[in-house]
Structure 1
Amino acid sequence: MANRFVLNETSYHEAGAIAEIATEVIGRGFKKAFVCSDPDLIKFGVTKKVTDVLDNTGLAYEIYSNIKPNPTIENVQSGIAAFKAAEADYIIAIGGGSSMDTAKGVGIVIANPDFADIRSLEGVTPTRNKSVPIFAVPTTAGIPADLKDIVKPEDIPFLAQSAYDDACRPGNPKETSVEDITKLYESLI
């Protein structure tokens, strides 16, 4: 069985953990997922690993991928509109901080419409209602455990540059170059 932490909602960890999502969703009686995943994770097949679990168990979902690094107010607001249009009742966030942050913004505002401007959520804000339930599937620093199965050598320069350009990179404990990141990716495939 996979380990899990219950924080604001649920985060799954370890190999095979995504298979537990279907069990949890069915057990809670949810009807339709709003899957937040960034375009690169869709492109490289990471999101498909989660949607395959949903497909194999007949669970409905809609994918939202209008996610940018350091999501903007507009990203979250368009996500809110997409969530409503999808008639979803829970969220699956796949990826790193940007997908997670977008999902959290959508989930909080759907449950607390008074914060639709998004900006009023900055800092510590007392909301009245809990967020829409969110299942988080982190990709651990953007590097899927099975990178070799989904990334081709010709994809590495793009991935390395994207990782280097990420706004969160300067906060890493060790300074890295594009070459360092390229070597890391190459060692994983």
Structure 2
Amino acid sequence: MSYAFFMPSISYMGEGCIKNLGNEIKSRGLRKSLIVTDKILVNIGLVKKLTNVLDENKIEYVIFDETKPNPTVTNVNDGLKMLKDNGCDFVISFGGGSPHDAAKGIALVAANGGDIKDYEGVDRSAHPQLPLMSINTTAGT
């Protein structure tokens, strides 16, 4: 059984939940994703399970796999550049805490401008982040 909740990002949980992603994306009118992940998840083939679903549903994507443990400002800036250069209108984070943290920063700055450092503190953004869908690969995230 799989579950989804909205706060405002979406976290998919449960065996087989990734199969629901295509319909969820289409229902929201989204068209092209920046997938934020890391090289290990790409190399072991887990990201391929996600991209297969996106391909089957004719949803465009680009993969940012440069996320490092405890993401840096550079990770956010590099991911943001890839998002903008490729015309992405939403973000999928795939992995554990580091890809999720980087994706949140990318989605926030994409919608609000400036630099991720501008948002240190509470209630610093004027606009909601870009739509963000998170697929957790660890139990602790």
Moved over 4 A (4+): none
List per-residue Cα deviations over 1:156-177 (Å, max 9, x = no partner).
Answer: xxxxxxxxxxxxxxxxxxxxxx
- TM-score, with normalisation over the residues of structure 2? 0.94
Q: How many residues align?
A: 140
Cα shift at 1:56: 1.1
Corresponding residue number in structure 1 for 2:28: 28
Please state which structure has a larger fraction of its residues in helix.
1
Q: Which among 111, 119, 129 is matched to residue 117 of structure 2?
A: 119
Gaps of 5+ in 2: none
Cα shift at 1:141: 4.2
Cα shift at 1:121: 1.6
Corresponding residue number in structure 1 for 2:52: 52
Corresponding residue number in structure 1 for 2:17: 17
Q: Secondary structure at the match of 1:35?
A: strand
Larger Rg: 1
Corresponding residue number in structure 2 for 1:152: none
Q: Where do 1:107-146 residues align within 5 Å?
A: 107-113=107-113, 116-141=114-139
Gaps of 5+ in 1: 143-189
Cα shift at 1:83: 0.4
Cα shift at 1:126: 2.8
Corresponding residue number in structure 2 for 1:170: none
| Separation in structure 2 between the aligned mates of residue 9 and residue 65 of structure 1, nearest angstrom | 20
| Separation in structure 2 between the aligned mates of residue 100 and residue 138 of structure 1, nearest angstrom | 8
Please state which structure has a larger fraction of its residues in strand.
2
Q: Secondary structure at the match of 2:61?
A: strand
Letter in 1 for 2:66: N
List per-residue Cα deviations over 1:34-56 (Å, max 9, x = no partner).
Answer: 11111100011111111110011
Identity between Structure 1 and Structure 2 (%): 38
- TM-score, with normalisation over the residues of structure 1? 0.71
List per-residue Cα deviations over 1:123-155 (Å, max 9, x = no partner).
Answer: 21331111000110011248xxxxxxxxxxxxx
CA RMSD of aligned residues (A): 1.3
Q: Which has the higher contact order (CA 8 A, sep 6+)?
A: 2
Cα shift at 1:19: 1.0
| Separation in structure 2 between the aligned mates of residue 40 and residue 125 of structure 1, nearest angstrom | 34
Judge conservation of contact 2:118–2:124 (CA < 8 Å) in 1: no
